[in-house]
Amino acid sequence: MPTGKRIYDISAPLAPELPVWPGDPTIALTPALRVARGEGANVSRLTLGTHTGTHCDPPRHFFDAGTPADALALTTLIGPATVLDLAHSSGTVTAADLTAINLPRATTRLLLRTRSTPWWTANNGAFDPNFTGLALDGAQWLIAHGIQLVGIDTLSIERYDAPPGEPVHIALLTAGVVILEGLDLARIVAGDYTLIFLPLKLHEGDGGPGRAVLIEG
């Protein structure tokens, strides 16, 4: 990496108090071995869901025969990305919001910075159902414009009050668009970056918690 390029960690902190989607497993980090007990090393037991914190949604999330997290192409997860500031949106990012951006034709990775960032501090640290999400026509706009990866700074790209059937997820994943959720874009200004997202290599994973970073320039 060229000298002087700033690196931003855009991952949510994994801690027991981190909100999770209602019904998903909560985070637990418990001691298994401890030096203080004379056991030679510190080792902890980690329990969490596959869609906890900063994570990717691969097609396997909704389709049993879909591509799992460990088989996603690294060339999709790593490369130039554009951050859009959509904090002005009313709670749903629509095709009209995206059209107004005048996005360069070569863009294939988009990260959406919304009014919800950082998502885990809202609602006194509890799950907040009033987060910003992507409208179905927004998802269709992304597909039509050749977007291969879309990320958002909320726990889900689909609004909590979306119609049944997860239409936004289904549309994006059917088109092969990888979804990143739970990003931390609080300190990130709109512009162009290099994205690196590496999910845990969970065999046949229906989701992939991971570490996401942006490199400026």
3-class SS at 206?
A: coil
User: Which residues is 43 bridged to in the sheet?
Assistant: 33
CA-CA distance, 16 to 138, in Å (whole number)? Answer: 33
Q: Is 61 a catalytic residue?
A: yes
Check if the beta carbon of residue 133 is closer than 8 Å to that of residue 139.
Answer: no
**Active-site pick, 51, 61, 145, 169:** 61
| Residue 104, phi then psi, degrees to nearest 5 | -60, 145
Closest Cα partner for 112 from 157, 72, 55, 75? 157
Catalytic residues: 61
